[in-house]
Structure 1
Amino acid sequence: MSFRSAIPFPRGPVLLTLPALAVLLLVMAVPLGVVVLRSFTEPAPGLQNYVWFFGTKVNITVLLRTFSIAFWVTLCCVLTAYPYAFAMTAAGPKVRLFLIMCVLVPFWVSGVVRTLAWVILLQDSGVINKILLSLGFEKLRLIRTQLGVTIGMTQVLLPFMIMPLYAVMRGIDLRLLQAARSLGAHPVKTFFQIYLPLSLPGVFAGATIVFILSLGFYITPLLLGGPSSTMLSTLVQQQVLSLLNWGRGGAMGVVLLVATFGLLAVASPFMKRRYQISGGSR
């Protein structure tokens, strides 16, 4: 037996992943390691940055608000994207292409441009309030509020919810619904007992993507929000760029990262169980 054949060497698909793994290591693992290291070593070695974070009431409030906004954005994306993705699967080829373009074209536009458009729409003298006044309603305070931040973030993140849903719904055989209807099942019962369970993998996948992306949003909360809707990313920016305090900024980032992984670890068994029930283990 030759020395070369005695030592297993990665071949085929494994070799193809090496460039991507190297890039991920370079652009993600190394910077993340530096941030974690600075959170423990600047301005002096120790846990003083984490003691400061958990000892400051504002930081805890902003952390909880960040997860709250991410939850509401995720919920709004699910409720908005689900019927849209279903329409994409049920429509004909031309209508489906049009619906896909409606999702992708805004996605190609810069997030800053889309957020500035929402500033124009949501301001006190904006289009939405003008329409409300013309209909006899009172003005709504939308800009510089958590509601405005939720609306803007939902619009920006909606494609990340629609496309995973569409990918799963496209594989569902609609003849199952027709068979249930032919056997006398009510449409509502057919949806909740057949179609919804089969589409849950797409819901979980899209919701996970949207939730994680929501936690790190910066531009949209900064432009549409105010002091009552500040998210943790804004405080990280203040510590790193304004105060040049990499230790405290790194501690904020590490806390947010650990909290996110903790929630995902708690939700993972539930998601896996529902995925198996929905037929994902076939």
Structure 2
Amino acid sequence: MATLDTRADRRSPGIGRVVGYVVLALAAAGLLLPFFWMVSSSLKTDNAVFASPVTWLPDVPQWGNYLEIWRISDMLTWLKNTVFLSVVVTLLQLLTGSFAAYGFAKARFPGRNLLFLVYIGTIAVPWQAYMIPQFIMMSEVGLTNTPWSIIALQAFGAFGVFLMRQYYLTIPDELCEAARVDGLSEYGIYFRIMLPLSVPALASLALLTFVTTWNDYLGPLIYLRDPDLWTIQLGLKSFVSEYNAEHALIMTGSVLSVVPIAVVFLLGQKYFVQGVATSGLKG
């Protein structure tokens, strides 16, 4: 009897693991199904996109849709503007977020914790509450209808400071103290010690910031009125309004807007998971 019980105990974790994998596979399939349908629809004719019953695979792939959308739209301009904004904002948030987080995590000054709580508390304030004052401020300094308005407003982020601070708290203070004893300045500690050790957290922040900036619609809608400055989100909205019957081309444009984000995520998912997991170890 003891032998049978032991064998049953050994099998149960294996069965549970198989069930877990099946559940995760079904959940992943459910999440990827809309994306698969979008890619498939981008290779169909307009009449076949919403045909009933649904056809998951095109009978004859219409690869010409990807050439046609470049011909009839300003897709290159939209992508170029979006890449520029996303890269610049991401780099600035990495610099400002990590630098401020180092001060909150490793520097000692009066009121540090209170100032950090107040700053982090701004995350709870919706952007719509101060959207109009920001627009007035940008108008007075002449930055409206320029990409610099978006860059100036999104170069700083409380969430990035919080994420980086949580990661820096996992790094022993003794390491910084030893560097100070050796004569290294605070700037030297930040650039030569903290940044090289925080690659996973920086990768997580970069991915989140890049995706958020890439998908931003309301900000560019308010500040970028010139069509030559439109991002991919504004461009697709105008394209849908103009070619609302071209369902296949609309799906093609949607695929082109999602592919860069998917590539970035696939390349950085290892660091993203590691950074998010490590940032919550110590509060």
Using structure 2 for the length normalisation, give the TM-score: 0.73
Q: Cα offset for 1:204?
A: 1.8
Structure 1 CA distance for aligned equivalents of residues 188 and 92 of structure 2: 23
Report if the CA contact (8 A) 1:152-1:220 is conserved: no
Report if the CA contact (8 A) 2:207-2:264 is conserved: no
Q: Percent identity?
A: 18
CA displacement 1:56-102 (0-9 Å, x = unmatched): 57211211111111011112212221222122213579632441342
Report if the CA contact (8 A) 1:145-1:225 is conserved: yes
Q: 1:23 to 1:259 in 2, by over 3 A?
A: same
Report if the CA contact (8 A) 1:85-1:162 is conserved: yes
AA aligned to 2:40 is L
State the match for 1:100 in structure 2. Answer: 117
Report if the CA contact (8 A) 1:240-1:249 is conserved: yes
Gaps in structure 1 of 5+ consecutive residues: 124-128, 130-139, 276-282
Structure 1 CA distance for aligned equivalents of residues 71 and 168 of structure 2: 47
Structure 2 CA distance for aligned equivalents of residues 7 and 74 of structure 1: 43
State the match for 2:248 in structure 1. Answer: 247
State the match for 2:219 in structure 1. Answer: 220
Listed as ranges, the matches of 1:84-233 within 5 Å are 84-90=100-106, 91=108, 95-103=112-120, 105-123=121-139, 129=140, 140-154=141-155, 158-227=157-226, 228-233=228-233
Report if the CA contact (8 A) 1:62-1:230 is conserved: yes
Report if the CA contact (8 A) 2:65-2:249 is conserved: yes
Query: Greater shift after overlay, 250-259 or 183-192?
Result: 183-192
State the match for 2:91 in structure 1. Answer: 75
Structure 2 CA distance for aligned equivalents of residues 114 and 101 of structure 1: 17
Report if the CA contact (8 A) 2:167-2:201 is conserved: yes
Q: 1:165 to 1:51 in 2, by over 3 A?
A: same
Q: Cα offset for 1:262?
A: 3.5
Report if the CA contact (8 A) 2:102-2:190 is conserved: no
Q: 1:205 to 1:266 in 2, by over 3 A?
A: closer
Report if the CA contact (8 A) 1:160-1:209 is conserved: no
Q: 1:172 to 1:11 in 2, by over 3 A?
A: same
AA aligned to 1:71 is V
Structure 2 CA distance for aligned equivalents of residues 250 and 21 of structure 1: 26
Report if the CA contact (8 A) 1:89-1:96 is conserved: no
Query: Greater shift after overlay, 197-206 or 110-119?
Result: 110-119
Q: Cα offset for 1:217?
A: 0.9
CA displacement 1:98-149 (0-9 Å, x = unmatched): 413422x3322334444333212211xxxxx3xxxxxxxxxx4211211112
AA aligned to 2:38 is V
Whose relative contact order is higher, 1 or 2, with alpha carbons under 8 Å and at least 6 apart? 2
Structure 2 CA distance for aligned equivalents of residues 112 and 23 of structure 1: 34
State the match for 1:55 in structure 2. Answer: 71
Query: Greater shift after overlay, 106-115 or 217-226?
Result: 106-115
Q: Cα offset for 1:29?
A: 2.3
Q: 1:211 to 1:13 in 2, by over 3 A?
A: farther
SS where residue 9 of structure 1 aligns?
A: helix
State the match for 2:15 in structure 1. Answer: 9
Higher-Rg structure is 2
State the match for 1:279 in structure 2. Answer: none
Q: 1:263 to 1:251 in 2, by over 3 A?
A: same
Using structure 1 for the length normalisation, give the TM-score: 0.73
Q: 1:265 to 1:3 in 2, by over 3 A?
A: closer
State the match for 2:81 in structure 1. Answer: 65
AA aligned to 2:148 is L
Q: Cα offset for 1:6?
A: 9.1
Structure 1 residue aligned with 2:42, among 39, 51, 72? 39
Gaps in structure 2 of 5+ consecutive residues: 48-60, 276-283
Structure 2 CA distance for aligned equivalents of residues 3 and 199 of structure 1: 44
Structure 2 CA distance for aligned equivalents of residues 13 and 183 of structure 1: 55
